Amino acid sequence: MAQLLSPPLKDDLDIVIPTIRNLDFLEMWRPFFQPYHLIIVQDGDPTKKIRVPEGFDYELYNRNDVNRVLGPKANCISFKDSACRCFGFLVSKKKYIFTIDDDCFVAKDPSGKEINALAQHIENLLAPSTPFFFNTLYDPFREGADFVRGYPFSLREGVPTAISHGLWLNIPDYDAPTQLVKPRERNTRYVDAVMAIPKGTLFPMCGMNLAFDRELIGPAMYFGLMGDGQPIGRYDDMWAGWCAKVICDHLKLGVKTGLPYIWHSKASNPFVNLKKEYKGIYWQEDIIPFFQNVVLPKECTTVQKCYIELSKQVKEKLGPLDPYFQKLGDAMLTWIEAWEDINSPAKTAPSQANGAKKDESSTKQK
Partner 1 sequence: MRTPPSLLSLTIEKAVLNLSHFSDLSPLPDHILLDLFLRTIKAGKLNEKVLKLFMATGKDEVLILIQTLNIKHILTPVLPTKDIKDSDIDIVIGALQPDLTSFLNEWRPVFSRFHLIIVKDPDLKEQLNIPEGFDHHVYTKPDIEKAVGASSTILFSGYSCRYFGYLVSKKKYIISIDDDCLPARDNEGNLVDPVAQHITNLTTPATPFFFNTLYDPFRDGADFVRGYPFSLRSGVTCALSCGLWLNLADYDAPTQALKPQQRNSQYVDLVMTVPARALLPVSGINIAFEREMVGPALFPALRLAREGKLRWETIEDIWSGMCAKVICDHLGLGVKTGLPYVWRSDKGDPIESLKKEWQGVKLMEEVVPFFQSVRLPRTATTTEDCVAEMAKSVRERLGSVDPVFNHAADAMLQWVKLWKSVGSVSSTPGDEGVGSSDEDYSGGESEAPECSRTPPVDRELKDKLFRKYGGYISTLKHEFSKKKKKGTLPKEARQILFDWWSVHNKWPYPTV
Pick 67 or 203: Cβ nearer partner 1: 203
Alpha helices in the chain (DSSP H): 26-33, 63-70, 86-91, 117-126, 176-181, 214-217, 236-251, 270-293, 303-313, 324-343, 345-348, 350-360
The least CB distance from residue 292 to partner 1, in Å, is: 8
* Binding of residue 108 to partner 1 (CB under 8 A): no
Cα 57 to Cα 366: distance, rounded to the nearest angstrom: 5
Binding test (CB under 8 A) with partner 1, winner from 20, 28, 126, 137 = 137
* Cβ atoms of residues 63 and 42 within 8 Å: yes
Binding test (CB under 8 A) with partner 1, winner from 1, 5, 6, 150 = 150
Identify the three-state secondary structure at position 365: strand
Question: What is the phi/psi pair of residue 118, to 5°?
Answer: -65, -45
Pick 63 or 142: Cβ nearer partner 1: 142
* Binding of residue 112 to partner 1 (CB under 8 A): no
* Binding of residue 99 to partner 1 (CB under 8 A): no
Give the interface segment with partner 1, choosing from 145-153, 217-225, 318-326, 358-366 (CB under 8 A). Answer: 145-153
Q: Which of residues 50-79 bind partner 1 (CB under 8 A)?
A: none
Residues in Cβ contact with 300 at an 8 Å cutoff, skipping those fewer than 6 apart: 250, 306, 309
* Cβ atoms of residues 41 and 87 within 8 Å: yes
Q: C-alpha dihedral over 128, 129, 135, 140, to 10 degrees?
A: 20
Size of the site for partner 1 (CB under 8 A): 57
* Binding of residue 366 to partner 1 (CB under 8 A): no
Cα 88 to Cα 354: distance, rounded to the nearest angstrom: 16
Q: Which of residues 194-213 bind partner 1 (CB under 8 A)?
A: 197-206
Pick 51 or 186: Cβ nearer partner 1: 186
Interface residues toward partner 1, by CB under 8 A: 110, 133-138, 144-155, 165, 167, 172-175, 178, 182, 185-193, 197-206, 234-235, 237-238, 241, 257, 277, 281, 284-285, 288
